[in-house]
Amino acid sequence: MPESLKTRWQRRAFNFFPAYRGTGGRLMYLADDYHEIHVKLPLTWRTRNYVGTIFGGSMYGAIDPVYMIMLIKILGADYVVWDKAATIRFKKPGRATLYAKFRIEPEEVATIREELTRRKSIERVYRVNLVDKDGVVHAEVEKTLYIAAKRAAAERAAGVSAATV
């Protein structure tokens, strides 16, 4: 799906956001429906570590918020989405630009919505690899996200408030 003018501006604004800008990563593509995002992490003076490869913190930072933001945008204002846990496994030093492609299938979104009709909250695990231009994996990242319908969160808060009164 091509980028729209709106998502092109959103991508540029995201890249300019100081917390993300500091990672050295850049969103290169943002699908109009937020189901796919591409990230690029070049080896530059800002991302280079003491031994001349991409700093592990830059690798993680460049991919850290992406799945959470995708789900926030896809699910909409009636849902709460938070990062809960993450692991990163470094496979090879990053000696050149690295890339990551994030994708959330429509079936996954339907599953999340359906599960949240039966449960107050769920956790979902997503994986993404940082690869070089030849597709060689340099880091594997696993993200665990907490997702709840806001009505369930509000009901829990009301229950807690009623129990404390």
Which domains, and CATH codes, for the chain? 5-164 (3.10.129.10)
pTM for the structure as a whole: 0.88
**Cβ-based neighbour number of residue 2 at 10 Å:** 8
Question: pLDDT tens, position by position, for the chain (165 residues)?
Answer: 778 889 999 999 999 999 999 999 999 999 999 999 999 999 999 999 999 999 999 999 999 999 999 999 999 999 999 999 999 999 999 999 999 999 999 999 999 999 999 999 999 999 999 999 999 999 999 999 999 999 755 565 566 555 554
Classify residue 35 by burial, with Cβ atoms within 10 Å: 0-12, 13-18, 19+: middle
In residues, how long is the chain? 165
Which residues on neighbouring strands pair with residue 111, listed in sequence order? none
Which residues on neighbouring strands pair with residue 81, listed in sequence order? 147
Non-local (6+) Cβ contacts of 158 within 8 A are none
Q: H or E element: which one contains 143?
A: strand 137-149
Tokens at 65, concatenated? 């918020």
How many angstroms separate the CA atoms of 140 and 122, rounded?
23
3-state secondary structure of 67: helix
Tokens at 51, concatenated? 């031994």
